[in-house]
């Protein structure tokens, strides 16, 4: 502001005093706030840069907070995955150590292991379920009770296994096979219904019996047979029936000809002629198939039921036996209303890792999403659950054979087949993401320090400098005030 | 008789000395009166009888350097202009907040992007969602309040203009009054000198308000003109007429057409009743009035436009989606079908076609307009510098749209409407004058769950922001003051994440999209805000525009204050110079006083000598 002249005294002089006072006040403010200016105007030419720097710093700090959040989640995931993997190993060890009497104990520990795995899969970081893919506000898996025992009208794994067991074994507990004798010297085995998905499936037949001929599986329903012809076989010669089972495994029933009148298991007595021998063979075959159905097939059936139960998600409900199990011939998709769907998280075509991303730098994102139904995790859950779900009756004479058939299937299945995803693979991928997080944190620390320094040099003041300026200004102001006072006092009136 | 003459002369001497003494007293008394010009007295000898010479006071002079005074007045106009501008700029700076403070626009913008980051990291977290929404609300409110503050400043400028015209009217009237009084007095007496002092004070006052030219004429008269030569004061004073606007909004703007102008205009009414629009003729170029006008009609309007650009760019960056044209080739013609059902007023159809004769490629922006009075649109209606803008009135249905469009292309590009809202754009087929290269439309998403990541995040009160153009102007004008976070989004924050029905609650896609659009997406900004030019508009991401705005405003404010400081120095120096010549110097007055005392004593001594001599004569 300009000031109108006051008589003789130069207004410019007064103005300069006012300016000095204002400068002093501004210096004092700078010392107090540590800031060069309270407005963008006062920052000088770098004002635009200061806005940019602050935006960058703010972005860095939000990256850092994202990194912290993501790190917590990944650490939780790592420890959960480690434990799940351990439980898988423990279950395997338990199976190996199981003797017949402790069947119950292995099952008990499998049940508690399953409970723990499910608990781990429902791990929350804050309110977020880390194994739920894109539906992180929903728990990814059902409770152990629902999964094993069902929930009201919704069937659980045990019920599915039981239904499948009935369906696979069929009414006569023969694994849906029919043994017949199409001619006096021949024995045939056929599937009960063409196209049925249950029970044994005929694979091949072979023999070393002298004079016998075999017919490979053919017809509808398929049938295979052995005709002993006119010559009795010699003792020690065999006929083999190869059968496929629902879980993709196969078994071969080999019957050996014996001269003994009291044949052991899987033996048949050579009769007086081939007709008598064929009758013995038919009886032995019926017996052997019955045994295989109650043991091996039952185990395979349980494994397959479990396969179907755990392959399901909300978009693909589990396949169940259609109609009365003992006579059923096909599978039907269950519904969410009648079957427990173990995985309740999100399912889409998005790769699991990409269901959670952390932006950790301007152009870098770390993917760390997980789903509880990823192959590796599902395999562990499924096999431990199968162990826990299959019931063996102590009074059942086949129980031991059945359980050993089951263990033989579950034990290798707990290890990933070559090329398939392992839990360790998930862990490695998460660890990779954590590495890039750590690297980004380090980078951010350095950039942040540099940028802050630069910002400080634009906006901040050096206290020493300001203090020195204040001193100098104070001296100047005092001198000016004194001089002004002297000038005002110097007047002719003092001297006349 | 010469003794008598001596007596008479010494009496005249005493009278002159008394007058001089009175003047000294007046000078001393007024030493500190602003505007007081030191008076001196001119004595002349006058013949008295045959042998005598007497003295008389001829005139009271004002010790004034008129050239200096004229220069001072010019600089005072400039000084007042610069001071007022600096003052407004500094108030405008406070609107932008302290650098880095929580109340600055960049501060709340950074808070918003930080909250979006947190949301992208935890999309399912309701705290993160409401955090992002409340940061967005704060940002919207910050823009609202900044817009209000800018309009408040404009309102102050309007009021200031009103006061300034009042002052100017008073000053001009007073100058005319004094002119008339001085016309009647013929002598240069003390009254006349005092009246001139007063008149100078009024002229000074007027020169602070506006730039004027002062011409002195005979008989102590002055005429005052504007710098452009319009007479303000002669024997009579002209008057300014100004009707201030009560409340100021962003849409209230000055227009040369009085019917369209929604703020006060400054009109000069001459004594004879003629009127002259000073703003339209740019007749006031300096002084406070010019500063008020510049602030009200340019600088603050531009500041508002910058805020509006930020607001509308944010709204559009988040809500715009592209509808691609579907190729349609009924040989020999070829072209595209475009679904225009989602096209809202302000949305644009982009048509690229090549004139095969010249080989020149044309980018045409067809803008939907629903108010026929807004047509035709200017080429700068879109920020894109390389396009040809065609405004089309859609209110008459597709038939009318086709007619309007076909009229623009002289058969080279053909428009038709096969069904519904489909716009079919085909070339001329066998004529082979044109090829259609590409067709698409940019439309505003109005649904929160429309299956696209784009969403109407910010709305214009309750209606969507589309940048619609009507005869009242663009929707963008004043949008910063009206923008809100979409109420539907506030009612259901989950829509920040779920972008289609059946979408997933922890899907980070939409939060990431919002973050990217607001931080890295490159946009082209409307050049009318003073950043960038029509020929090469500023393009970059939103934070860089923000940076430009702050930078430019800070720079302007800094310049304004430097200019004001520099002008102050000039004015102070000139005032010092004028004061040196015109103000009362007590030392000098005291010295004069001594002289006058001596002169008075000497005259009195002569009188007493004459008396002695007369006494001697009588005693004889």
Contacts of A54 in chain B (CB under 8 A): 99-100, 106-107, 110
pLDDT of A205 > 80? The answer is yes
State if pTM tops 0.80.
Answer: yes
Task: Express each pLDDT in A31-51 by its tens digit.
Answer: 988 888 888 888 888 888 898
Q: What percent of chain A has pLDDT over 70?
A: 96
- Measuring CA to CA, how many Å separate B524 from each of A362, B344, B535? 21, 20, 12
Mean pLDDT of B233-252: 87
| Phi and psi, residue B177, nearest 5° | -60, -50
Q: A62 pLDDT exceeds 70? A: yes
Tell me: pLDDT of A102 over 60: no
**Which chain B residue has its CA at the smallest distance from A69's CA?**
B121
Q: How far apart are CA A134 and CA B511, in angstroms?
A: 13
Inter-residue contact B117 to A66 (CB < 8 Å): yes
In this predicted structure, the answer to whether residue A395 has a pLDDT above a threshold of 80 is no
Is B347 a residue whose pLDDT tops 50?
A: yes
- Give B-chain residues touching A134 at CB under 8 angstroms: 504-507
Q: Which of A15, A40, A489 to mutate: most B Cβ within 10 Å?
A: A40
Confidence of residue B422 (pLDDT cuts 50, 70, 90): very high
Give start and end residues of each alpha helix (H) in A233-332. Answer: 274-292, 298-310
**pLDDT tens-place string over residues B491-519:** 999 999 999 988 888 889 999 999 999 99
At residue B459, the pLDDT reads 94
**In sequence order, what DSSP letters do the residues of B555-571 get, joined into one string?**
HHHHHHHHHHHHHHHHH
B275 CB-contact burial (10 Å; exposed 0-12 / middle 13-18 / buried 19+): exposed
Residue A3 pLDDT: 45
- Closest partner residue to A135 (CB to CB) among B504, B519, B544 is B504
Give B433-484 pLDDT, tens digit per residue.
889 999 999 999 999 998 899 999 999 988 999 989 888 888 999 999 999 9
The span from the CA of B289 to the CA of B284, in Å, is 7
The whole-angstrom distance between residue B342's C-alpha and the CA centroid of its chain comes to 40
Residue A443 CA to residue A362 CA, distance in Å, equals 12
- Give the nearest partner residue to A1 out of B83, B121, B519, using CB atoms: B83
- The pair of three-digit structure tokens given for residue B330, joined into one six-digit string: 């009924």
Average pLDDT over chain A reads 88
Q: Do A48 and B573 touch (CB under 8 A)?
A: no
Q: What is the DSSP string of A410-468?
A: HHHHTSPPTTS--HHHHHHHHHHHHHHHHHHHHHHHHHHHHHHHHHHHHHB--HHHHHH
pLDDT for the residue numbered B98:
87
> Which of A417-423's residues contact partners 24+ apart within 8 Å by CB, and which partners?
A420/A375, A420/A376, A420/A379, A421/A374, A421/A375, A421/A376, A422/A376, A423/A81, A423/A84, A423/A85, A423/A88, A423/A376, A423/A377, A423/A380
Residue of B nearest to A48 (CA): B551
In this model, does residue B611 exceed pLDDT 70?
yes
- Alpha-carbon distance of A381 to B141, in angstroms, equals 52
On whether the CB atoms of residues A319 and A304 are closer than 8 A, the answer is no
Q: How confident is the model at residue A399 (pLDDT cuts 50, 70, 90)?
A: confident
Average of per-residue pLDDT values in chain B: 89
C-alpha distance from A7 to closest chain B C-alpha (Å): 5
Nearest to B507 by CA among A125, A354, A70: A354
CA distance A410 to A388: 11
Residue B503 CB: number of other CB atoms within 10 A?
Answer: 17
Chain B, 479 to 508: residues with Cβ < 8 Å from chain A are: 504-508
Split at pLDDT 50, 70, 90, the class of A5 is very low
- Determine the pLDDT at residue A2: 46
Identify the pLDDT of residue B1: 57
**pLDDT of A211:** 86
Lowest mean pLDDT across A26-30, A223-227, A481-485? A481-485
| Residue numbers of A between 448 and 467 with CB closer than 8 Å to B | 459
Which pLDDT value is given to residue B52?
Answer: 67
For the ranges A115-129, B374-388, B488-502, B504-518, the lowest mean pLDDT is seen at B374-388
- Is the pLDDT at B9 greater than 80? The verdict is yes
Residue B111: band (very low, low, confident or very high) from pLDDT cuts 50, 70, 90: very high
Helices A375-389, A298-310: axis angle to 10 degrees equals 140
Confidence (pLDDT) at B479: 94
Task: Annotate A382-404 with DSSP letters as a single string.
Answer: HHHHHHHH----TT-TTHHHHHH
Q: Is B554 on the interface with A (CB under 8 A)?
A: yes
Interface test with B, best of A4, A15, A43, A62 (most B CBs within 10 A): A62
Asked whether the beta carbons of A224 and A181 are under 8 A apart, the reply is no
**CB pairs < 8 Å spanning A and B:** 197
Residues of A in contact with B124 (CB under 8 A): 127-128, 135-137
């Amino acid at each position: 502001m300009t000031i109108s002249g006051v008589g003789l005294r130069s207004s410019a002089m007064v103005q300069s005093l006012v300016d000095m006072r204002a400068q002093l006040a501004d210096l004092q403010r700078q010392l107090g706030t540590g800031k060069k200016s309270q407005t963008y105007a006062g920052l000088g030419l770098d004002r635009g840069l200061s806005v940019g720097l602050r935006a960058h710093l703010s972005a860095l700090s939000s990256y850092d907070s994202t990194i912290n959040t993501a790190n917590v989640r990944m650490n939780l995931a790592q420890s959960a995955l480690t434990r799940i993997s351990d439980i898988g190993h423990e279950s395997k060890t338990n199976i190996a150590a199981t003797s017949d009497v402790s069947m119950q104990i292995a099952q008990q520990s499998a049940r508690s292991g399953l409970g723990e795995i499910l608990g781990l899969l429902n791990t929350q970081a804050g309110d977020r379920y880390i194994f739920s893919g894109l539906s992180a506000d929903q728990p990814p898996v059902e409770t152990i009770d629902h999964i094993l025992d069902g929930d009201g009208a919704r069937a659980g794994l045990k019920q599915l296994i039981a239904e499948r067991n009935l369906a696979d074994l069929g009414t006569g507990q023969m694994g849906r096979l029919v043994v017949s004798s199409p001619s006096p010297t021949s024995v045939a085995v056929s599937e009960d219904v063409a196209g049925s998905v249950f029970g044994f499936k005929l694979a091949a037949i072979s023999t070393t019996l002298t004079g016998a001929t075999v017919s490979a599986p053919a017809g509808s329903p398929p049938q295979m047979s052995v005709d002993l012809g006119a010559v009795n076989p010699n003792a020690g010669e065999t006929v083999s029936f190869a059968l496929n089972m629902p879980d993709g495994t196969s078994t071969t029933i080999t019957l050996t000809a014996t001269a003994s009148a009291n044949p052991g298991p899987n033996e048949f007595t050579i009769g007086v002629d081939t007709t008598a021998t064929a009758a013995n063979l038919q009886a032995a075959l019926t017996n052997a198939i019955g045994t295989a159905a109650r043991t091996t097939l039952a185990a395979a059936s349980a494994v397959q039921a479990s396969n179907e139960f755990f392959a399901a998600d909300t978009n693909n409900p589990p396949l169940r036996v259609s109609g009365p199990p003992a006579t059923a011939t096909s599978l039907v998709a269950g519904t969410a209303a009648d079957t427990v769907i173990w995985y309740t998280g999100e399912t889409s075509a998005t790769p699991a890792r990409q269901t959670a991303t952390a932006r950790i730098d301007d152009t870098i994102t770390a993917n760390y999403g997980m789903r509880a139904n990823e192959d590796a995790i599902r395999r562990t859950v499924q096999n431990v659950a199968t162990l826990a779900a299959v019931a063996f009756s102590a009074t059942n004479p086949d129980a031991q054979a059945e359980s050993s058939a089951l263990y033989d299937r579950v034990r290798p299945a707990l290890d990933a087949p070559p090329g398939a995803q392992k839990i360790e693979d998930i862990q490695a991928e998460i660890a990779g993401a954590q590495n890039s997080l750590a690297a980004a944190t380090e980078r951010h620390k350095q950039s942040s320090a540099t940028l802050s320094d630069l910002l400080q040099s634009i906006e901040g003041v050096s206290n020493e400098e300001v203090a020195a300026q204040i001193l100098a200004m104070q001296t100047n102001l005092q001198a000016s005030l004194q001089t002004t006072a002297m000038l005002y006092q110097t007047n002719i009136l003092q001297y006349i | 008789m010469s003794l008598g003459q001596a007596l008479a002369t010494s009496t005249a001497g005493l009278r002159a000395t008394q007058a001089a003494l009175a003047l000294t007293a007046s000078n001393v008394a007024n030493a500190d009166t602003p505007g007081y010009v030191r008076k001196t007295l001119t004595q002349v000898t006058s013949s008295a009888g045959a042998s005598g010479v007497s003295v008389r006071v001829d005139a009271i002079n004002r010790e004034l350097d008129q050239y200096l005074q004229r220069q001072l007045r010019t600089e005072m106009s400039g000084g007042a202009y610069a001071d007022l501008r600096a003052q407004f700029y500094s108030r405008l700076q406070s609107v932008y907040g302290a650098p880095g403070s929580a109340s600055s626009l960049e501060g709340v913008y950074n808070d918003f992007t930080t909250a979006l980051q947190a949301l992208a990291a935890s999309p399912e977290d309701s705290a993160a969602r409401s955090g992002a929404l409340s940061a967005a609300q704060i940002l919207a409110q910050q823009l609202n309040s900044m817009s209000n503050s800018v309009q408040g400043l404009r309102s102050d400028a309007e009021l200031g203009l009103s006061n300034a015209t009042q002052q100017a009217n008073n000053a001009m009237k007073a100058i005319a009054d004094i002119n008339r009084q001085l016309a009647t007095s013929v002598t240069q007496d003390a009254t006349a000198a005092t009246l001139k002092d007063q008149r100078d004070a009024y002229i000074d006052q007027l020169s602070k308000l506006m730039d004027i030219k002062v011409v002195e004429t005979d008989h102590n008269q002055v005429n005052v003109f504007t710098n452009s030569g319009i007479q303000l004061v002669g024997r009579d004073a002209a008057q300014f007429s100004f009707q201030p606007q009560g409340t100021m909004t962003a849409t209230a703007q000055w227009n040369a057409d009085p019917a369209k102008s929604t703020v006060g205009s400054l009109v000069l009414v001459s004594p004879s009743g003629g009127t002259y629009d000073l703003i339209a003729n740019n007749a006031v170029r300096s002084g406070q009035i010019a500063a008020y006008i510049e602030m009200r009609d340019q600088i603050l309007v531009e500041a508002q436009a910058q805020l509006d650009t930020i607001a509308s760019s944010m709204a559009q960056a988040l809500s715009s989606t592209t509808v691609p044209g579907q190729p349609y080739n009924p040989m020999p013609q070829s072209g595209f079908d475009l679904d225009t059902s989602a096209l809202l007023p302000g949305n644009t159809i982009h048509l690229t076609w090549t004139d095969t004769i010249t080989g020149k490629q044309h980018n045409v922006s067809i803008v939907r307009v629903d108010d026929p009075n807004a047509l035709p649109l200017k080429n700068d209606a879109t920020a894109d510098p390389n396009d040809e803008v065609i405004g089309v009135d859609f209110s008459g249905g597709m038939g009318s749209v086709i007619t309007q469009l076909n009229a623009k292309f002289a058969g080279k590009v053909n428009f038709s409407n096969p069904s519904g809202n489909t716009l079919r754009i085909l070339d001329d087929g066998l004529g082979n004058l044109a090829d259609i290269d590409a067709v698409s439309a940019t439309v505003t998403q109005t649904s929160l769950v429309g299956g696209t990541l784009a969403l109407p995040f910010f709305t214009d009160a309750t209606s969507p922001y589309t940048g619609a153009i009507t005869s009242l102007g663009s929707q963008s004008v004043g949008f910063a003051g009206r923008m809100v976070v979409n109420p539907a989004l506030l009612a259901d924050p989950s829509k920040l994440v779920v972008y289609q029905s059946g979408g997933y609650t922890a899907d980070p896609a939409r939060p990431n999209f919002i973050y990217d659009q607001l931080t890295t997406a490159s946009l082209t900004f409307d050049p009318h805000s003073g950043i960038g030019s029509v020929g090469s508009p500023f393009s970059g991401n939103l934070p860089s525009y923000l940076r430009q705005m702050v930078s430019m405003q800070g720079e302007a404010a800094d310049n304004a204050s430097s200019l004001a400081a520099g002008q102050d120095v000039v004015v102070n120096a000139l005032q010092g110079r004028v004061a040196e010549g015109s103000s009362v110097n007590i030392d000098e007055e005291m010295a004069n006083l001594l002289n006058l005392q001596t002169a008075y004593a000497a005259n009195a001594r002569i009188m007493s000598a004459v008396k002695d001599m007369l006494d001697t004569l009588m005693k004889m």
